[in-house]
Chains A and B, each alone.
Chain A
């Protein structure tokens, strides 16, 4: 009987999960490859690991925001890509998801702008003045959007945001106090400012994902 079950058709939820992971991997891989090729074509030096990290984090945010935006624009096919029960659930959650998609996309753009910006002694694909203006504008917009999103979110999402923020803070505290202490004592090199921005966003993103997993939001539906 168990052999029969093992050889039986793959459950719909598993198929959906495989499809989601496969599309995410293909789109993410293709986008990363395309962006890196385009940047290399300009002759911009991407040897700095903190620029590569910022670019990677930026692309992850842009990819997440684009997938949610796609789901909102086309709820039918979007429901197969995102972890929702059906297209109606995307329509019901349209208001908070629009804010989320916009914020996530903008943060991704901000990180890409920082990764490609020139410094006081180096030239970038974007001037540092343009990157500074983009950073300031996006920081203000995402802060305002976050306040609005807090009203739209229901209690589960608010709880996930609070719990994820707390875990992200504790993880950041542990990582950067240890790293800072070791750097002060000369055992390790201190992180660059761009590396710090990238690491903080990566830690917060990881914390939110972990809490989403614990609260069952990532369980295939």
Chain B
């Protein structure tokens, strides 16, 4: 799933380590999310959105459309 985590993190001036510390996860997890290798759980996605003060659907972009 496409996401804007790296853009938001860099916008806050945080390193991957700093974001990981704030979220209570490992740097590997932050790196895997930013590189689209891993989709975070719903609680982690909500925490990320809260930290960056943005809506979840602007942080994680789902291109799915309802079939007509």
Contacts and interface: CB of A to CB of B under 8 A. Distances in A.
A66 to B, nearest CB: 21
Nearest to A96: B26
B23 to A, nearest CB: 9
Contact of B17 (A92, A159, A214, A215): A92
Interface residues of B, number: 18
Nearest to A156: B29
Contact of B26 (A92, A216, A219, A221): A92
B60 to A, nearest CB: 15
A154 B29 CA distance: 8
Contact of B24 (A85, A154, A215, A221): A154
B32 A155 contact: no
A217 interface: yes
Contacts of A88: 17
A216 B29 contact: no
B27 A215 contact: no
B37 A89 contact: no
A216 B33 CA distance: 9
A155 B37 contact: no
A85 B27 contact: yes
A159 B26 contact: no
Interface of B: 16-17, 20-21, 24-29, 31-32, 35, 37-38, 40-41, 44
29 contacts: A84-B27, A85-B27, A88-B17, A89-B17, A89-B26, A89-B27, A92-B17, A92-B20, A92-B21, A93-B26, A154-B24, A154-B25, A154-B26, A155-B25, A156-B25, A156-B26, A156-B28, A156-B29, A156-B32, A159-B38, A214-B37, A215-B37, A215-B38, A216-B31, A216-B37, A216-B38, A217-B32, A219-B35, A221-B31
